[in-house]
Structure 1
Amino acid sequence: MSEQTFLVLTALADEPRHGYGVVQRVQELSDGRVRLRVGTLYGVLDRLVADGWAEPDREEIHQGRLRRYYRLTGAGETALAEQTRRLAANVDAASAVLRARGHWPRSAEVRA
């Protein structure tokens, strides 16, 4: 799963969002590291819908423009949870190796 896909799923996990709302939330979640372009965002959303991980929630008109909201499905939540577990296991493994070589702080220091 790409970082963009992971972050879009995470952005949809707490509430339905429209495209620009997803872009903003991804930027917040990544502390500004990831800035989704419109083409990338809608490519990811199209794949998530095709895979059954997200679905359209509703549409509304805002300042004369259509906003389509998307929400996470149960399958999307499961995929996000599984990927989160995999990433956490990878972080734990890499951190242990780096700590053993004296190149990484203890877990409490990383999260602080």
Structure 2
Amino acid sequence: MQEPTFLILTALAGGPQHGYGIITDVLRISGERVRLRAGTLYAALDRLEGDGLVAPEGEEIVDGRARRYYRLTPAGTARLAAEAERLRHNVETATGRLSRLGFVPNPGGAA
């Protein structure tokens, strides 16, 4: 799974959100490393909806513009959980190998 997809699903795991909310949440979750453009986000949401991982949750009109909300589906939750477990395993493996080299990672910050 590509990082932007992981971050979009992670953002939606916090509850339904509209596009701008997802963009803002992804920026926060990624420590301001990943800045999604609107076109990139909506293309990803269309793909994720087609894959059954997200679904529209409704719309509201704000300042005369439609704001569509998206939610994580049960399949999306399962896929995100599987990816999180895969990443956890990879981090444990890397951390174990680094510790054998004498490197002690700082869990709260950069190395």
| TM-score exceeds 0.5 | yes
The residue identity in structure 1 corresponding to 2:74 is G
The residue identity in structure 2 corresponding to 1:72 is L
Q: How far apart are 1:39 and its partner, in Å?
A: 1.3
Percent sequence identity is 52
Three-state SS of the structure 1 residue aligned to 2:34 is: coil
In 1, Cα distance between equivalents of 2:9 and 2:61: 24
Q: How far apart are 1:103 and its partner, in Å?
A: 2.8
Could you say which residue in structure 1 is the equivalent of 2:31? Answer: 31
Could you say which residue in structure 1 is the equivalent of 2:107? Answer: 110
RMSD: 1.1
TM-score (norm 2): 0.93
The residue identity in structure 2 corresponding to 1:110 is P
Q: How far apart are 1:111 and its partner, in Å?
A: 3.8
The residue identity in structure 2 corresponding to 1:61 is I
Q: Could you report, residue by residue, the CA deviation over 1:6-52 in whole angstroms, capped at 9, with x for unpaired residues?
A: 00000001211000000000011111111101111011111110000
In 2, Cα distance between equivalents of 1:35 and 1:103: 31
TM-score (norm 1): 0.92
Could you say which residue in structure 2 is the equivalent of 1:3? Answer: 3
The alignment status of 1:71 with 2:71, answered yes or no, reads yes
In 1, Cα distance between equivalents of 2:48 and 2:22: 13
Query: How many residues are matched?
Result: 109
Three-state SS of the structure 1 residue aligned to 2:107 is: helix
In 2, Cα distance between equivalents of 1:111 and 1:96: 17
The alignment status of 1:15 with 2:19, answered yes or no, reads no
Could you say which residue in structure 1 is the equivalent of 2:49? Answer: 49
